[in-house]
Amino acid sequence: MKKSLLMLLLIPFLLGGCNKKNKSNSEEETQGVQYIDVSVTEISLHEGEQFQIPIEILKKTIVICQSNDENIATVTHDGLVTATGQGETTITISGGKNRFIIFVTVAPEQAKDSLQIVMVKEEFIIQAGDEYILPITVKYGNEVVASPTLSYTYETEGIVSIAGLTVTGVATGLTKCVVLASYNEMTASSSFTITVYWWVR
C-alpha cells in the first residue's frame, strides 16, 4: 500500500520532468531557424523608378517590409520599392526571427533619352559547370528595355562564357567582365567580377 501511494505521488514529478525536457528540445530545434532570405543589400534608383526586392520565404511566416523614410523610398508588403525623392534611407525586411536591412540611394530622375545598365550586385561566385542568370536590367530613361543587345569582354579568357544573361562556369579562377548594352543607337557599359570554383563532395 505504501509503495502504491509513493508511486502515485511521484507520477506528477516524472511527467513534469518529461514535459520540461521536451520543451527544451523544441526550443533548441527553433534556434537558428532561417525564415526568410534576402540576397540584396544595396539598391540604387532614380526618382520614380521601382525595384522588386527578392524575398525568399524558407519557413511559413509573416513578412513585414518597412521604409525608414518614405519621402525617399516607399515599400509595399511584398517588397516593391518606389523611389519618391532624392537621398539615402534604409528598408527593413523582417520575417520570423530574421531581419535584413537594405541601403537605398535615390538619385535625380534619369534623362528620358539616356541608356543605363542596372545591376543589384557586382560580384558573383558560381560553381564550374553551373549556369547563372545575371541580374542585369537595361533602361532607356525610366523604361526597361525588353530585348537589349548585350556583348561581353573578359579580363581573363576561358573562366566563364556568357550568352545573353546566362553565364556558365568553365574553369576555376576569377575574371573581370565588362558588359556593353546597345539600344536605339545608344550604348552603356558596366563591369562585374565572377569567381568560379570546383565543388568537391
Question: Domains in the chain, ordered, with CATH?
Answer: 36-107 (2.60.40.1080), 115-197 (2.60.40.1080)
- Sorting pLDDT into bands at 50, 70 and 90, what band is 49? confident
Task: Calculate what percentage of the chain has a pLDDT beyond 90.
Answer: 63
Task: Calculate what percentage of the chain has a pLDDT beyond 70.
Answer: 82
pLDDT greater at residue 6 or residue 161:
161
CA distances 75 to 53, 58, 92, 95, 148, Å, are: 9, 21, 10, 15, 28
Predicted TM-score (pTM) of this structure: 0.50
Q: What is the H or E stretch that residue 8 is in? A: helix 2-30
